[in-house]
Chain A
């Protein structure tokens, strides 16, 4: 699904990540961990073609990122759901419209998917907040709205960058369980987090692999943390 082949990324000449060789197969569940500033976000951005590698090759759904046109990138992103730590919305549109935004930009009629939208909002527990504006949401509500927006297109892969960074432990678990449910539905999940408790909590429910960024390399961490 996503293949990295001796990938490096440098900012202004200094290498942040180097020699990455990795495959994210369909239906897999990965945690990506490491100290802040180690390159977790950069790794994820390489995975959804927000960044092109400075060396090596990234293939997303079999396509080399460097060979993608801007429209190819747009189409690729419709198959990848992304959740950021500080997720951004269109503040003048309601939560429901924001969650349906990927449908609108893909040219689909949101009205045809009204049922899906209602189900999805119910699933993330935002059915009563559908008409609220994003600035009125709490941190946990924002994360769940972002998750709903990330999955409405039925993506094959979900990338979450510190999705529990701004919420309390209870809400973290709730978001984690939503992601685990998605994984059970066959979607590949990558969660970048520095929260080891979250990883332990997940391990009880799903066979997750842990990738650790250390010394600019991504390594598969041992089974025990």
Chain B
């Protein structure tokens, strides 16, 4: 018989009222938003990592020299790079590779060998890092036509922007958590006020504060969990159904979860429940301390 009944401390409070139902609804909405904020943070993080990682590893030396000196200057550049600390490897791009790079702009029939194109030398940085200024000075001495382009100049603001975007995502998540906490505190206070008589009766028959608080805490925690689970499921579904545009989409379609990142939004419902638990408990105990 007792197994069929919901828990006792739950039953002493009248069946779900308006505040509890609104809690469920708001938790669902907030969880939905939280999934997007999370996706934003993770996508921005991926973007920042990709830009700083892939681009930091490589640099390019561009050699513009008269036809006759091209080979010797290229040799000189490669010699310099071989003896520069922090350069893991360096190689000159072949004519075919250069043609492939230019193809999108000039078409496939470009006679690369007959144009006065600069030679490109790609270098890969070692883990110890590259002193770009020192390398520039050495190159200027050995091969006057060589220019080092280490990508940092245009990479840095992009990485900074992506990092800022990631920060916004986390701040948004924090704000969503705070909004849920204040909303549930308000709802709990409303429920406690509406049940003032019930609480009075419970105190009279010898209920301890924790017993009374538990009745409210359980209810709000469960509703917040249910609401957040629904909102999270909808949010994840929306992310999964995001139209795929492949490589060309860039950042916009990068907004989503990859691989194990899909586990992240699953933390939203338990977190919402935790916030509801703490907020309701604090509100209930604060209110009860005011009674005899």
Contacts and interface: CB of A to CB of B under 8 A. Distances in A.
A106 B12 CA distance: 13
Q: With a 10 A CB-CB cut-off, give which of A82, A90, A153 has the most chain B CB atoms.
A: A90
Contacts of A70: 208-209, 288-289
B15 A92 contact: yes
Interface string A90-116: 111100010001101111011100000
Nearest to A114: B1
A140 to B, nearest CB: 20
A74 B208 CA distance: 5
A77 interface: yes
Interface string A63-84: 0000000110111111000100
* Residues of B in contact with A, size category: 20 to 34
Interface of B is mostly: helix
Given A70-B208, A73-B292, A92 B14 contact: yes
Interface string B176-190: 000000000000000
B168 interface: no
Contact of B200 (A88, A92, A111): A88
B292 A78 contact: no
A105 B12 CA distance: 9
A102 B1 contact: no
A20 B54 CA distance: 86
Given A50-B292, A111-B2, A105 B202 contact: yes
Nearest to A50: B292
B203 interface: yes
B8 A78 contact: no
A104 B12 contact: yes
Contact of B205 (A77, A107, A110): A77
A101 B292 contact: no
A145 interface: no
Contact of B206 (A77, A109, A111): A77
A51 B201 CA distance: 16
A55 to B, nearest CB: 18
A75 B206 contact: yes
Contacts of A101: 12, 201-202, 205
B211 A105 contact: yes
A109 B8 CA distance: 9
B101 interface: no
Interface residues of A, number: 30
A49 interface: yes
Contact of A149 (B1, B11, B200, B205): B205
Interface in B202-229: 202-209, 211
B266 interface: no
Given A50-B292, A71-B209, A105-B206, A88 B11 contact: no
B153 interface: no
Nearest to B285: A70
Contacts of A105: 12, 202, 205-208, 211
Highest count of chain A CB atoms <10 Å: which of B2, B201, B204: B204
Residue among B1, B201, B208 with max Cβ neighbours from chain A (10 Å)? B208
A31 interface: no
Nearest to A108: B8
The CB with the most chain A CB atoms within 10 A, among B15, B201, B202, is that of: B201
B12 A90 contact: yes
A71 B211 CA distance: 11
A43 interface: no
Nearest to A52: B292
B292 A88 contact: no
Interface of A: 49-51, 70-71, 73-78, 82, 88-93, 97, 101-102, 104-107, 109-111, 149, 153
11 contacts: A74-B206, A75-B206, A76-B206, A88-B201, A89-B201, A90-B201, A92-B14, A93-B11, A101-B205, A104-B12, A106-B206
* Interchain residue pairs A-B with the least CB separation, the first 4: A105-B207, A78-B206, A77-B206, A102-B205
Interface of B: 1-2, 8-9, 11-12, 14-15, 197-198, 200-209, 211, 288-289, 292
